[in-house]
């Protein structure tokens, strides 16, 4: 909400209201937009796989806006950050005590199913497997959501789509999707964009000069070479954008990278020093 | 003749021996780990940082501005204290690493494809060698005077590499300009090496901001200058080498005295040691006054080789990749065949083969990862599954008694955890279910006009977990060392290791998780000993205590094989959560763990690979070490959250349960 003086204040909005009126900034890397559109039109649930900060959420915001615009309707995006203690009730809804009576309150998934929104289960493998079984009837040809506690089910709105995301890199050992869950989704793989595209994204998101964006993209590309054993995951595009924003605020580039990239990706002093030298190799 | 700064860099290690390190000094020891990583960042290849003195003279000497990498190592000063500030000395390390790592970026190790070379020139062997410098060794070694060709090529290629890197990396360009300004000025061209020194500086003159200063034949620069052009590749350097060689060689022949010839002949070993079939023949060339005419100044086949298409040199890698049917693979297969028990399978499937009753339980062959070959050595290590010798159960229990308070605390903690996992959490302000009794209480309170509770929900946040944990003890000889301070002074590292797993065993009995305890040691790849102390199915009875009491420090630490066998044992477990806790006191080491017994790299890489295999098998490996220097190698062996280095051995019994619970997600 805008104040009279132009500043913004926060405001509580319902799930259904979370609609993108303006085009979110997104640069396609491949054919992911076309693929997603086809999946949406075929009512196929989608699994977005990729490392942290590579643009999965932004992509979904973009396609939510795009599909709504193309179809001439509002397509809300309802996001649920999954975690280990996420229960079926957190997704579907529950009875609450209000005064003398119990009142049923829809969870985000039920709200999305009813209103015809995209329900985005972020980092889905963080949720317990028994909780995720709940989405099975919703993620196949039935497209129904059982409401066990109400003794019925809801048939999904035609515009409803279920989307999940996860990062295969760091979740493979301990947590993984059940095969029966995984095989209900069409999967789109995401990775960090190539250097030229990433530079455009950095420049577009932060407003820094193209040359600075290219240097940051170069830094990101090389720092990701440190991956696998030495570094759990290299700096994300998101972190590079943070660095760019700091630079845009007048912070000296090396200092900005120290704050937004070096210290953010590792606590290991040796790794930090190697990253610091990479920054020094990129920025004079 | 060389620059005084360059000489000082090469000499500083020697100067250091005479006195204390200055405040501004940087040592390779402190910089090694981060510059190896830095090199990987630049080049995608893990380049081992080694002292300049370890490099063959042909690759690094004070007559050249920068050392030249062999593609696997970068050469750095062992000690550097030539500038007033530490930042400047560090900057030299960074620049040295950048220029050498940049050889991968610039395509120095590209080569023609083996089949094309074979079809057109009958030269194939050198193309197939899994060594980055193989083609260049062949090419330069084919000249009549390989050392001269190598000097020319390395000078030009370093200039090209530095230019490529400076164009790409702005920070590096400024480092380079700063360093060259201090390394120069040009020196008097008294011999061919000083000519090459000046050529290097003149090629980089635009970067350094210095005007070119020739002092050598114009044709030399005419041939060389293309290497600094944008888009110049390896072929440009090789082409220019051919041309400049033809100019410099006659001058060199005319000026050399016999002693110099003898000295220079030594440099040819770099090419001929590993390339016995090369055309280049220094004896013939040096003796040409007395011998034949018609020896080509530059072999025509070299120029022809440059007409082939060059490709990136690819390192084969990847989990599950095995050696192809190449020369190395055949050789290794032959080496392993005679002594191995061919009845047992290398896949890790056990075959009961109890020949020596009571001790040896089985024998298995495991592959080993050879990072140099980029593949697995098939059936390379023989693992002997043994039942640990029995000692005194009382001795083991006495060890446990020394940690009595800790045992009680950990046991209580684990017992509580078990209870928590089986109960609903009630009286929550928010939860999955309404707790009827709390809801009734709330209604009663409301009707009585009392403040109602909001905690009327309940939730079952965790379910009982199925867990299998394997404790793997390093039983190498070094565990015999004694603790020198603290409350347990005089006890050996092994005793503390045993106490730690004994505490865990007691606690896990409370929790109900499945667990096994094993130890490993051995000597050489033909005998890796894997001791069973407690299998997963065995109860914690007298026999287990006796085996714990009978453990003794043994021999070496061939860790990769032990990890693979532990992986194999965990594979048979049906639990959803499988953990492998490796308790060690040092880095992987065995007398034949790699070509050079002093080199840790092979063992590190093999163990790292074995740990990754375990991860791929949905097992969580975790390494706890009591080696205070463990960070240096564990960061390369394990993921950042996959290991713990303890400052004191005594911390292990208290830390191990915490690690266990963290991994278990409790």
List Cα–Cα distances, A192 to A203, A235, A271, B401, B464, in angstroms: 15, 10, 21, 55, 38
Cβ proximity of B197 and B64 under 8 Å: yes
Across B388-401, average pLDDT: 84
Residues B87 and B212 in one domain: no
ipTM > 0.85 for the complex: no
Residues B256 and B359 in one domain: no
Q: Is it true that the peptide bond before B185 is cis, omega within 30 degrees of 0?
A: yes
B457-459 and B514-522 strand pairing: unpaired
* Nearest chain B Cα distance for residue A16, angstroms: 23
All residues of chain B having their beta carbon less than 8 Å from the beta carbon of residue A279 are 171
Q: Which residues of B504-524 are buried (b: 16+ CB within 10 A; e: fewer)?
A: bbbbbebbbbbbbbbbbbbbe
Containing domain of residue B430, as a range? 423-459
Please report the pLDDT score of residue B399 as a whole number. 80
Burial degree of B641 (CB within 10 A; 0-12, 13-18, 19+): exposed
All residues of chain A having their beta carbon less than 8 Å from the beta carbon of residue B639 are 229, 232
Residues B469 and B614 in one domain: yes
Q: How many domains does chain B have?
A: 5
Q: Which residues of A191-226 are buried (b: 16+ CB within 10 A; e: fewer)?
A: ebbebebbbbbbbebbebeeebbbbbbbbbbbbbbb
A98, A274, A279, best to mutate vs chain B, most B CBs in 10 Å: A274
Q: Which two tokens stand for residue B243?
A: 């041309």
Residues B149 and B100 in one domain: no
Please report the pLDDT score of residue B135 as a whole number. 81
Please report the pLDDT score of residue B127 as a whole number. 55
Q: How far apart are CA B9 and CA A21, in angstroms?
A: 63
Give a yes or no: residue B62 inside a domain.
Answer: yes
Cα angle B631, B635, B640 (rounded to 5 degrees) comes to 115
* Residues making up chain A, counted from first to last: 284
Cβ proximity of A119 and A162 under 8 Å: yes
Q: Pick the closest to residue B578 from B664, B449, B665 (CA basis).
A: B664
B48-51 and B73-76 strand pairing: parallel
The SS3 call for residue B82 is coil
The SS3 call for residue B458 is strand
Are residues A282 and B171, on separate chains, in Cβ contact within 8 Å?
yes
Q: How far apart are CA A84 and CA A129, in angstroms?
A: 9
Residues B159 and B300 in one domain: yes
State residue B183 phi and psi, 5-degree precision: -75, -35
Q: How far apart are CA B499 and CA B505, in angstroms?
A: 10
**Measured over all CA atoms, what is the biggest interatomic distance in chain A, rounded to whole angstroms?**
69
The DSSP letter of residue B277 is T
Are residues A278 and B94, on separate chains, in Cβ contact within 8 Å?
no
Alpha-carbon torsion B197, B199, B204, B208, what sign?
positive
Residues B530 and B572 in one domain: yes
Residues B408 and B435 in one domain: no
Q: Which residues of A60-86 are buried (b: 16+ CB within 10 A; e: fewer)?
A: bbbbbbbbbeeeeebbbbbbbebeeeb
Cβ atoms within 10 Å of B489's Cβ, excluding its own: 10
Are residues A172 and B42, on separate chains, in Cβ contact within 8 Å?
no
Highest-confidence segment of A169-183, B217-231, B365-379 = B217-231
Q: How far apart are CA B158 and CA B366, in angstroms?
A: 42
B149/A contact by beta carbon, under 8 A: no
Q: Which two tokens stand for residue A192?
A: 């960090």
* Nearest chain B Cα distance for residue A280, angstroms: 5
Q: Which of B34, B446, B637 sits opposite A273 (nearest CB)?
A: B34
* Tens-level pLDDT at each residue, chain A (284 residues): 445 555 566 777 777 778 888 899 999 988 999 999 999 999 999 999 988 888 999 999 999 999 999 999 989 999 999 887 788 888 898 888 877 788 888 999 999 999 999 999 998 888 877 778 889 999 999 999 998 888 888 999 999 999 999 887 654 434 567 788 888 999 999 988 999 999 999 999 999 999 999 999 999 999 998 865 555 678 999 999 999 999 999 999 999 999 999 999 888 888 899 999 999 999 99
Are residues B94 and A280, on separate chains, in Cβ contact within 8 Å?
yes
Q: What is the pLDDT of residues B482-535, one digit of tens each?
A: 877 777 778 888 888 998 999 999 888 888 889 999 999 988 888 899 999 999
B310-311 and B457-459 strand pairing: unpaired
A15-189: what fold?
Rossmann fold (3.40.50)
A44 or B206: which leads in pLDDT? A44
Q: Pick the closest to residue B550 from B389, B425, B409 (CA basis).
A: B389
Give a yes or no: residue B375 inside a domain.
Answer: yes
All residues of chain A having their beta carbon less than 8 Å from the beta carbon of residue B612 are 229
The SS3 call for residue A228 is coil
Q: Pick the closest to residue B133 from B69, B51, B76 (CA basis).
A: B69
Give a yes or no: residue B154 inside a domain.
Answer: yes
Q: Locate the domains of chain A by residue range.
A: 15-189, 195-282
Q: How far apart are CA B47 and CA B37, in angstroms?
A: 8
pLDDT over 50 (residue B341): no
Q: Which two tokens stand for residue A263?
A: 């210290």
Give a yes or no: residue B183 inside a domain.
Answer: yes
- Range with lowest mean pLDDT among A182-196, B17-31, B211-225, B267-281: B267-281
The torsion angle over the Cα atoms of residues B607, B609, B613 and B615, rounded to 10 degrees, is 80
Q: How far apart are CA B128 and CA A108, in angstroms?
A: 59
Please report the pLDDT score of residue B561 as a whole number. 94
Q: What is the pLDDT of residues B605-624, one digit of tens each?
A: 899 999 988 988 889 999 99
Cβ within 8 Å of B, A 111-140? 128, 130
Cβ proximity of A97 and B434 under 8 Å: yes
Chain A: residue whose CA lies nearest to B102? A281
Identify the bridge partners of residue A187 per DSSP, sorted by sequence position.
A47
Q: Which two tokens stand for residue B435?
A: 């707790």
- The conformational region for residue B137 under phi > 0 = left, psi -120 to 50 = alpha, else beta, is alpha
Are residues B33 and A270, on separate chains, in Cβ contact within 8 Å?
yes
Q: Which residues of B128-166 are buried (b: 16+ CB within 10 A; e: fewer)?
A: ebbbbbbbbbbbbbbbbbbbbbbbbbbbbbbbbbbbbbb
* Nearest chain A Cα distance for residue B155, angstroms: 22
């Amino acid at each position: 909400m805008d104040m009279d003086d132009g500043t913004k204040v926060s405001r509580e909005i319902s799930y259904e209201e979370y609609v993108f009126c303006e085009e979110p900034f997104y640069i396609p890397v491949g054919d992911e937009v076309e693929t997603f559109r086809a999946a949406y039109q075929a009512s196929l649930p989608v699994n977005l796989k990729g490392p942290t900060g590579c643009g999965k959420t932004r992509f979904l915001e973009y396609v939510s806006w795009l599909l709504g615009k193309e179809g001439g309707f509002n397509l809300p995006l309802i996001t649920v950050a999954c975690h280990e203690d996420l229960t079926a009730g957190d997704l579907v809804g529950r009875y609450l005590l209000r005064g003398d009576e119990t009142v049923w309150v829809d969870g985000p998934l039920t709200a999305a199913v009813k209103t015809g929104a995209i329900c985005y289960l972020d980092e889905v493998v963080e949720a317990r497997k028994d909780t995720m079984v709940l989405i099975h009837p919703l993620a196949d040809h039935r497209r129904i959501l059982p409401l066990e506690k109400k003794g019925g089910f809801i048939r999904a709105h035609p515009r409803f789509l279920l989307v999940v995301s996860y990062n295969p890199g760091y979740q493979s050992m301990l947590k993984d999707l059940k095969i029966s869950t995984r095989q209900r989704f069409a999967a789109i793989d995401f990775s960090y964009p190539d250097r030229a595209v990433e530079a455009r994204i950095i420049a577009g998101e932060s407003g820094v000069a193209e040359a600075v964006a290219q240097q940051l993209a170069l830094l990101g590309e090389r720092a990701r070479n440190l991956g696998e054993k030495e570094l759990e995951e290299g700096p994300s595009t998101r972190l590079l954008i943070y660095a760019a924003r700091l630079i845009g605020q007048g912070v000296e580039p090396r200092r900005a990278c120290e704050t937004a990239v070096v210290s953010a990706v590792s606590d290991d002093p040796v790794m930090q020093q190697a990253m610091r030298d990479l920054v020094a190799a990129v920025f004079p | 003749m060389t620059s005084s700064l360059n000489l000082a860099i090469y000499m500083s290690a020697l100067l250091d021996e005479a006195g204390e390190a200055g405040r501004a000094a940087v040592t390779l020891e402190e910089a090694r780990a981060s510059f190896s990583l830095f090199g990987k960042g630049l080049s995608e290849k893990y380049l081992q940082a080694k002292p300049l003195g370890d490099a063959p003279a042909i690759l690094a000497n004070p007559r050249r501005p920068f050392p030249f990498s062999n593609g696997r190592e970068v050469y750095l000063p062992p000690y550097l204290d030539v500038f007033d500030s530490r930042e400047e000395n560090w900057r030299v390390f960074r620049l040295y690493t950048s220029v050498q790592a940049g050889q991968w970026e610039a395509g120095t190790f590209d080569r023609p494809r083996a089949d094309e070379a074979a079809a057109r020139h009958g030269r194939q062997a050198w193309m197939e060698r899994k060594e980055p410098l193989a083609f260049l060794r062949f090419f330069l070694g084919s000249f009549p005077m390989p050392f001269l060709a190598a000097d020319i090529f390395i000078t030009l290629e370093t200039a090209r590499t530095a230019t490529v890197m400076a164009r790409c990396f702005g920070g590096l360009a400024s480092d380079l300009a700063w360093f060259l300004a201090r390394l120069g000025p040009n020196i008097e061209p008294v011999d061919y090496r000083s000519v090459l020194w000046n050529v290097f500086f003149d090629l980089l003159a635009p970067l350094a901001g210095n005007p070119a200063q020739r002092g050598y034949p114009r044709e030399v620069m005419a041939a060389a200058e293309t290497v600094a052009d944008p888009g110049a590749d390896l072929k440009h350097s090789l082409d220019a080498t051919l041309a400049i060689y033809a100019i410099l060689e006659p001058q060199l022949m005319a000026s050399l005295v016999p002693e110099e010839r003898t000295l220079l002949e030594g440099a040819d070993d770099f090419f001929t040691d590993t390339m016995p079939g090369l055309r280049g023949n220094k004896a013939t060339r040096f003796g040409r006054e007395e011998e034949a005419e018609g020896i080509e100044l530059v072999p025509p086949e070299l120029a022809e080789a440059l007409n082939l298409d060059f490709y990136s040199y690819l390192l084969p890698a990847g989990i599950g990749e095995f050696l192809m049917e190449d020369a190395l693979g055949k050789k290794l297969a032959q080496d392993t065949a005679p002594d191995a028990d061919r009845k047992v399978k290398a896949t890790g499937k056990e075959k009961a083969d109890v020949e020596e009753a009571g001790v040896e339980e089985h024998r298995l062959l495991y592959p080993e990862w050879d990072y140099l070959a980029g593949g697995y050595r098939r059936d390379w290590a023989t693992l002997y599954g043994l039942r640990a010798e029995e000692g005194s159960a009382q001795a083991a229990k006495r060890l446990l008694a020394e940690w009595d308070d800790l045992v009680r605390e950990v046991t209580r903690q684990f017992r509580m955890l078990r209870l928590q996992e089986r109960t609903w959490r009630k009286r929550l302000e928010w939860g999955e279910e309404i707790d009827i009794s709390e809801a009734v209480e709330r209604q009663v309170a409301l009707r009585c006009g009392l403040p109602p509770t909001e905690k009327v929900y309940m939730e079952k946040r965790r379910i009982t977990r199925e867990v299998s944990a394997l404790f793997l003890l390093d039983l190498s000889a070094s565990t015999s060392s004694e603790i020198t301070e603290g409350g347990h002074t005089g006890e050996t590292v092994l005793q503390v290791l045993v106490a730690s797993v004994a505490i865990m065993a007691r606690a896990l009995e409370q929790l109900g998780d499945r667990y096994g305890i094993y130890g490993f040691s051995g000597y050489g790849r033909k005998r890796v000993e894997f001791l069973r102390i407690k299998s997963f199915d065995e109860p914690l009875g007298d026999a287990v205590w006796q085996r714990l009491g009978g453990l003794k420090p043994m021999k070496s630490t061939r860790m990769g094989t032990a990890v693979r066998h532990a992986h194999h044992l965990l594979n048979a477990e049906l639990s959803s959560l499988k953990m492998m806790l490796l308790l060690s006191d040092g880095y992987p080491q065995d007398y034949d763990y790699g070509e050079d017994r002093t080199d840790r790299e092979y063992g590190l890489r093999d163990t790292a690979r074995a740990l990754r295999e375990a991860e791929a098998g949905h097992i969580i490996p975790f390494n706890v070490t009591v080696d205070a220097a463990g960070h240096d190698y564990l960061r390369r062996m394990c993921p950042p959250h996959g290991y713990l280095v303890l400052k004191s051995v005594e911390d292990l019994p208290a830390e191990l349960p915490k690690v266990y619970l963290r991994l278990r997600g409790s």
